[in-house]
Chain A
Amino acid sequence: MNSINNSYIERPRYLCSLGGALSTLEALPETIPVMHCASGCAGSIAWAQNGGSALQVGGHCGGLTVPSSNVGERDVVFGGTDRLTEQLKNTLEIMEGRLYVIITGCVTEIIGDDIRAVAAEFESGDYAIVAANTGGFKGNSYLGYDIVLTSIVNQYVKKAASKKKKSVNILGIVPYMDVFWRGNLKGVRRLLEKLGLEVNTFFTDEDSLDGLKNSSEAELNIVLSDVYGHETAKAYEETHGVPYITATLPIGPTASAELLNAVCGALCLEADVDAIVGAENKRYYRCLELLSDTYNDIDLQKFAVIIGDVNYAVAVTRFLLDDFGWIPVLTQFTDVLDGERQEHIAGKLKAPAPLNGPKVVFDTNASEVVRYINELYPKRESDKYAETIAPAFVIGSSLDRAAALKIGAPHLSVSFPVSNRAVLSRGYTGFDGGLTLIEDLLSAAVAMR
């Protein structure tokens, strides 16, 4: 197993923590981010999003129009809080919002500017100001999502007088880093609404800032990731007493049914999950029925190589194993994960014989994927009839197109960066999301006809 510090630095598959914090805020309704960082940060983040978030970039108060203190050398030497105060004052005058969130970059974090003190100066009943220490060096954009949400949970979310029955919050789907975030959040909502729940997803057009403000009323937080959103869930638990469960991003029937059962169990609901799953499965397989003959006739079953962040690598591999019937041979995780997490996550991809599940590797350098494939299918000159990976399919990010070309396989980008697709409302979660993913996979497989 390789980690980030051996060999070389490849094209990154995430932004810095400031980038993750900014894109998270851009997705929140009625929220204005105020960056406290050097002038290049916003630009770099905007262009990284532009190239990676399936053409979703900017929007109101995002991208290159985000308020930023743009600190210079003088601010570094003497402290940048005066500049931030000025920027915040101007932003409050010009940009209409209800929640303003100060987020820091590396420079202002290193010099230790007291952004909480600046936020406190502007306290008002008309709006709220949150300060989050997101200095880019702290980690990647997934961590930035957690830092900024944790700050909001601790500084903005209201203490609930009582719990609201059957109300849940969804965490772990990181806006823009998951380019299908809108669709995925909506898919999860539709799914859980079948249990009669009120589902708070924070970021979609059906959500409101009040939903976030009152989110401590929830009975349960559901973290749809093995890594992302956990810190936020812990903050909810410690500050507001909201417990949480963790589940895989539910793509397709099996994972969706598992989620329904897990949530039903955690909330001690009396819902008939079997009936719900039965009805959904019926719908799902009625759709899929149309495909089944062709699937066999024109050889649409593939050996799959999956390369992605922890959410997609787990969810897509499980979907192929449990529902779709493709054979995952290799799953490569591109996150930086410690040994304990690696072991836990690798354990989720096991399957009974003869499939046994894919070879699992943890390597941030996805260009290594071809080497791993060659290890699985060793070639010797004397092997006249060598086993090869065919027909194959690569599911990863746009960066993995090259590997797909090398092994002569079609390719679909689902994990960040996605630069060869335009995504607005599409999503892969729930029963319907499984069908959407099948459409996309097979469309890519037959695209050259």
Chain B
Amino acid sequence: MPGKIKQIAVYGKGGIGKSTTTSNISAALSKLGFKVMQFGCDPKSDSTNTLRGGQYIPTVLDTLREKTNVKATDVIFEGYNGIYCVEAGGPSPGVGCAGRGIITAVELFKQQKAFEKLDLDYVIYDVLGDVVCGGFAVPIREGIAEHVFTVSSADFMAIYAANNLFKGIAKYSHSGGALLGGIIANSINQPYAKHIVDDFAEKTKTKIMQYVPRSVTVTQSELQGKTTIEAAPDSEQAAVYMELADRIAKHEVSATPSPLEISELREWAASWANQLIALETGALTSQAQGI
């Protein structure tokens, strides 16, 4: 897609592996030859750490706090393989408005046409998963990202968060907002976990982009302040991320998901809970490996 920047937002429940996944996608896309920017939209400001050798970078909002006028170029830092790293940042916990902070940071880049000037192929927003207010929905609103991917495990709370995100996407889909590319299923080591996310994807009319197993390689790489792509490029886990990046690169058409109503979601979760109990007690054994 010459000349057209592909903007992607990655959402997911806190602690689910969003930043790890996003950084590995960025690293993998850069290895595929694309010019990539990773834009962390989380007040914790640690999205890009593993692209920068474990180093924190000054955030857009920290810089705005110091100076009235901030140039986008002042807050862009190069990381692994030439990836541009940006952290939106946010206020101290418990004060101010983090949501407005995200809006401010993203608008600053938009106004200064920073993405266009850098001739980027990809901008990947790594966004706090619980879309608690309008600020955290900014990347999926009109004119910013086109495709949203959600990182989710088979954990029900992660799926609740994904379902909420789907509601946000469905809401903005009528006004030119981003659409859903699919689910990146994370920490999928057991067959039942795969079944759960598959079932959720089917119910909400979306697809699974990749199944990413939980792997000690990721932990080892992160302890070195690196992505798996950088620290263990020949590992199986790196191959999983490379495949995911390739699928994202080839992904063209996103769609409006069909989020479950809260009562449907509860019923759905309850039916899975019953099945898991049945597996545990041995009443159901057909595919019970690993339990």
Contacts and interface: CB of A to CB of B under 8 A. Distances in A.
A80 B61 CA distance: 15
Contacts of B90: 77
Interface string B91-126: 110011110110010000000000000000000000
A76 B64 CA distance: 12
A79 B95 contact: yes
A74 B100 CA distance: 9
A358 to B, nearest CB: 46
B64 A110 contact: no
A73 interface: yes
Contacts of A80: 96
B205 interface: no
B81 to A, nearest CB: 32
Contacts of B65: 74, 78
Interface string B73-99: 000000000000000001110011110
A245 interface: no
A225 interface: no
A108 B90 CA distance: 17
A81 B95 contact: yes
Given A111-B96, A111-B97, A78 B91 contact: yes
Nearest to B91: A78
Contacts of A113: 95
Interface residues of B, number: 13
A76 B97 contact: yes
Contacts of B96: 75-80, 111
A69 to B, nearest CB: 14
A74 B66 CA distance: 10
B100 A73 contact: yes
B91 A79 contact: yes
A70 to B, nearest CB: 15
B76 to A, nearest CB: 20
Contacts of B104: 73, 77
Interface in A76-90: 76-81
A78 B65 CA distance: 8
A74 B64 contact: yes
Nearest to A80: B96
A241 B98 CA distance: 43
Interface string A62-105: 00000000000111111111000000000000000000000000
B101 to A, nearest CB: 4
A242 to B, nearest CB: 37
Contacts of A73: 100, 104
Nearest to A114: B95
Nearest to B96: A79
A114 B101 CA distance: 19
B95 A110 contact: no
Interface of A: 73-81, 110-114
26 contacts: A73-B100, A73-B104, A74-B64, A75-B96, A76-B96, A76-B100, A77-B61, A77-B64, A77-B90, A77-B91, A77-B96, A77-B97, A77-B98, A77-B100, A77-B104, A78-B65, A78-B91, A78-B92, A78-B95, A78-B101, A79-B92, A110-B97, A111-B96, A112-B95, A113-B95, A114-B95
Interface of B: 61, 64-65, 90-92, 95-98, 100-101, 104
Given A76-B96, A77-B100, A112-B95, 12 more contacts: A73-B104, A77-B91, A77-B96, A77-B97, A77-B98, A77-B101, A78-B65, A78-B95, A79-B95, A111-B97, A113-B95, A114-B95
